[in-house]
Amino acid sequence: MGFLMSKSMDANFKKQQEFMLHNARLQMERQMLMQNQMRERQMAMQLAWSRELVKYFGTFYTVTTVGLTLGALKRKKPFLLAPIIPLSFILAYQMDSAYGTLIYRVRGEAECIMTSECDRLGLPHGTPNFESIEKARRARSNIISFLEK
């Protein structure tokens, strides 16, 4: 009788383990999808921010270039055109960032770094783990309780 009951409990235990494993996988998959969606949204916001910046900087660049060109022609001083050169580089970078292929080049370089220079990617004091987080949390709660007294 005890053997049959033990066999039944083992079967239920295995089913429960499989169920827990399945749920853990589902939770991990959902977290990964959520993190990826958050990353995509942040990147979209950053790209939209860059495009908005191009509009403002493009307007500034246009007004400045026209003003400096008219000033240089009117006063016959060509050195007044000098600020146009660095402003052109800044505008080109902003345009590449907002509408060009900069993001693809950066991603490619990041992939190259991750494959060939992975030793540069380590965090100071290593990857945080449960013990280090608990230690910091306890230290912080001790400080807060000390300050409250």
**Each residue's pLDDT tens digit, 68-121:** 999 999 999 999 999 999 999 999 999 999 999 999 999 999 999 999 999 899
For the chain, give every domain's residue range: 12-148
Between helix 84-99 and helix 102-116 the angle, nearest 10°, is: 80
Under 8 Å between Cβ of 138 and 145: no
Assign 123 a pLDDT band (cuts: 50, 70, 90).
Answer: confident
Rounded CA separation 63/71 (Å): 12
Rounded to whole angstroms, how far apart are CA atoms 96 and 22? 45
Q: For 22-62, write each residue's pLDDT tens digit.
A: 999 999 999 999 999 999 999 999 999 999 999 999 999 99
Rounded Cα distance, 136 and 91, in Å:
45
Closest CA to 94 of 47, 43, 44: 47
- 16 token code pair: 């429960």
Residues in CB range of 95: below 8 A, 6 or more apart: 54
Q: Say what the pLDDT of residue 42 is.
A: 96
